[in-house]
Chain A
Amino acid sequence: MLASPLPVPPGGRAFIDVTALSLDFPLYHGGARSLKKTVLSGVSGKVGGRLGRAGRSPDDPNATRRVVVQALRDLTFSVRSGERLGIVGRNGAGKSSLLRVLGGIYEPVAGRIHTGGSVNTLLDTNFGMNLDLTGRENITLRGRYVGLDATGIRALEEDVEGFAALGPFMDLPVRLYSSGMVVRLGFGLATAIAPQILLMDEWFMAGDSRFRDKAHARLETVVRGAEILVLTSHMPDVLRQWCTRLIWLEAGRIVADGPVDDIMTRYESGAAPAL
């Protein structure tokens, strides 16, 4: 296990610049999913009749108005090569949304985001694998995604196979794997490709304990290779171990940004966010 944050690869140029970033998250439910109802309510809304109003109460399950969650509000920060940024905050504070925005999956409604360097996002608990495909096919797809040629894909296959030790299961659909095998394959695959910017969700640090030491060593290699790490977590130990800097998110806003120990002390004492 690590005693202190990992050393920084020298000469890195990766960066993340976030300016006045806001993200609205539309939630579609009931009538908002229906073209027919949306068009009808648009028409009746323009006519201004009573019928239009009846369908527009927010409690009405047929309401066509979508609910918009303000996931992130006016965030501004920069991360330079060598920084290990942790993001803390309660459930629903916007941690995962922020990771997805940094990874370019969600595009913000306001503000600007600029990243330099190859990005790998470890977010999905299925590691982005297709459970109906075999382990080998999933590895091929990942290799193609990062633009590897046939030789590269073979090397990737060998590397992941060596780590996951699936034996004959390599050529069976992932759906048939035990949960431990799924984690080993997915983890091995996700960590086989070393990006310059690594965006990682906290569950990645969990996993069963026997597997953990082996995984930890491998994760360490990837993190060491990455110029920037952004990690979301609830776990103080994990954050203290891996990060050099913390951003505390509360209701989509930055409450505090600074060295790990300062922020962690405040966060753990449950100090009311000074909004």
Chain B
Amino acid sequence: MSALPSVTEPSSEPDRDAAGPIGAPGSATALAGAAHGGSLDDMPEMLIDARLGRRVRGLAARADLRDGIALWRLAFTLGWLDIKLRYRGSALGPLWLTLSSAVMVGSMGFLYATLFHIGLAEYLPYLALSLILWQAGIGGLAGEACNSFIDAEQTIRSMRMPFTVQVIRTVVRNVIVLGHNVIVPLVVFAIFGQWPGLAGFLCLPGLALWLLDGAASCYLLGAICARFRDVPPIIGSLLQIAYYLTPVIWKPSQLGARSWWLPINPFDSLLEVVRAPLLGTAPSVFTWVAALVYSALLCLVSWRVFVRARPRIAFWV
């Protein structure tokens, strides 16, 4: 046999100082026929250097976050289309959620007001708000966070797209759901004439914290659940337990002197920073500090897990 055609040209020396993976998902594409203008500076680059190992893992995750946020329009559209798809063909659309929540709040309200010997006017507004904040807020998002990457399997395998897009999409979807459900407590408030007044606006920082925690749990649970498929049911069971241990259907005051252990439950302080203002009282400083500490821990753990898992998620989904 004659000599093989040359096997590859010598590799260029890796320029170490240019390191740092730059993930640019086709940000400079143009429609067919359009010329590729632009200078070298705006040419998207991608550099993945496995030899640099863990040193660049954090940079790559940060690039994912930055590029994902830059694609927020895509993420918002995806989240909105998810909702639209879920309720395509039903006359009421997402208001089905509202209706089923209303039925549940109504039936549970009468039952538990009797069981707990609390007046309906006192109990129903509390229950309506708590239940919606749990079901469409904390509990709902924690459940959906598990599938944030698994559900996007096809996209993840067919194009390079920041995982942050899927995270924002999941959060946006849940915000839309919460937005529809919040009608139920508002109607209950109107019926019983119980308006939180200006204090209600204090829920906004709490909701901002929820957005952050929601995104963090999508990174964390999304990655873990993509790798280990038995985790989503485990999370589901844990959420079920948390639902009963957290003051959602019962009131903290019912515990009396034994309510000291409530701050151990992260869900309690997180729920309280949004719920208390809407019921017309400001959450205590202690509650806020606890919520912030739990959130900081969650964000830290989530980010570390995501930094490690990010290069592997495409193989897992």
Contact = CB atoms under 8 A, between A and B. Distances in A.
A45 interface: no
Contacts, number: 202
Contacts of B227: 28
B31 A155 contact: yes
Nearest to A9: B36
A17 B34 contact: no
A17 to B, nearest CB: 6
B43 A13 contact: yes
Interface stretch (A202-210, A235-243, A252-260): A252-260
Contacts of A259: 5
B46 A159 contact: no
Interface in A243-275: 254-259, 262-263, 271, 274
Interface string B32-49: 111010001001111111
A196 interface: yes
B82 to A, nearest CB: 10
A156 B29 CA distance: 12
A146 B159 CA distance: 11
B50 interface: yes
B160 A121 contact: yes
A112 B14 contact: yes
A117 B66 CA distance: 19
A55 interface: no
B311 A113 contact: no
Given A192-B32, A196-B36, A104 B11 contact: no
A167 interface: no
B44 A117 contact: yes
A48 to B, nearest CB: 24
Given A120-B29, A128-B158, A106 B77 contact: no
A145 B160 CA distance: 10
A106 B228 CA distance: 19
Given A19-B11, A119-B46, A126-B154, 13 more contacts: A9-B36, A77-B9, A78-B12, A104-B48, A104-B160, A106-B315, A107-B314, A112-B14, A112-B49, A132-B88, A147-B29, A194-B34, A274-B4
B255 interface: no
Interface string A143-162: 01111000010011001000
Interface stretch (A29-37, A87-95, A177-185): A29-37
B154 A128 contact: yes
Residue from A146, A156, A254 whose CB has the most chain B CB atoms within 10 Å: A146
Interface of A: 9, 12-14, 17, 19-20, 25-26, 28, 33-36, 38, 76-78, 100, 103-121, 123-124, 126-128, 130, 132-133, 137, 140-141, 144-147, 152, 155-156, 159, 191-196, 218, 221-222, 225, 227, 254-259, 262-263, 271, 274
Contacts of A127: 158
B85 interface: yes
A113 B47 contact: yes
Interface string B44-74: 1111111100000000000000000011011
A256 B46 contact: no
A124 B314 contact: no
A104 to B, nearest CB: 4
Residue from B12, B34, B46, B231 whose CB has the most chain A CB atoms within 10 Å: B46
A12 B43 CA distance: 11
Nearest to A192: B32
Contacts of A141: 74, 77-78, 81
Contact of A115 (B28, B45, B161): B45
Contact of B154 (A110, A121, A124, A254): A124
Given A13-B40, A193-B26, A193-B31, A263 B50 contact: no
Contacts of B48: 104, 107-108, 112-114
B158 A137 contact: no
A219 B85 CA distance: 32
A26 to B, nearest CB: 5
Given A17-B11, A35-B234, A77-B9, A191 B74 contact: no
Contact of B158 (A114, A124, A225): A124
Residue from B11, B154, B158, B160 whose CB has the most chain A CB atoms within 10 Å: B158
